[in-house]
Structure 1
């Protein structure tokens, strides 16, 4: 049975929140543990405003949680299984269009 429209809409919001190279880089970096926003800024190589927009979008979609400690804000992934999802995506990305009949994982 297909998922409800509300469930599909929520899934799309999460996928959209990851669907940018900088946001994927942030997510992959956070798989190793929480990081300060200043570290994420350096990692992405963008100004603080741009990184803050990426983080806000990811937080609103439920992908990230944050905690303020002193003057710094630390971000962490909410779900540990994101790495499994990205490994599956990697398998799909490596597949040749000619091998569509084969499963990816």
Structure 2
């Protein structure tokens, strides 16, 4: 029996639910990078990064290609960049709304 779409979406978002994975995706927005460059930008152990890259590879969000002795990682589709941009817009709106609420609360407490 096929997995319902809502369940597949939930699995997809669970895959994105780790800070290291999000950071990897952000770094890959500008093009493929080798592991050493990802490690230089992300403050984690090599084994932890390797684990997170494996999760992203298994789900098909990133692809890996060997160039000599170097493994290059890339986003599997430019749609991932759009998803990250949408997340940024949503977060910006949410934080702006919270800022407005906070300002209202502060002005109310001064009365």
TM-score higher than 0.5 here? Answer: yes
* Alignment TM class, shorter chain as reference: 0.7 to 0.9
TM-score normalised to structure 1 length = 0.78
1:14 is matched with which residue: 12, 17, 37? 12
1:28-60 superposed Cα distances (whole Å, 9 cap, x missing partner) = 111100000111111112111000001000111
What's the offset of the Cα at 1:11? 2.2
State the SS of the aligned residue for 2:73.
strand
Alignment coverage as a number of residue pairs? 96
2:57, 2:5 → 1: CA distance?
18
Structure 1, 13-22 or 38-47: larger mean CA deviation: 13-22
CA RMSD in angstroms, aligned pairs only: 2.1
State the SS of the aligned residue for 2:60.
coil
TM-score normalised to structure 2 length = 0.74
1:11, 1:65 → 2: CA distance?
20
Query: Structure 1: which 5+ runs fail to align?
Result: 100-105
What's the offset of the Cα at 1:26? 0.7
2:74, 2:81 → 1: CA distance?
14
Structure 1, 64-73 or 12-21: larger mean CA deviation: 12-21
Bigger helix fraction: 2
1:62, 1:51 → 2: CA distance?
16
**Which structure 1 residue ranges, 4+ long, deviate > 4 Å from structure 2?**
none
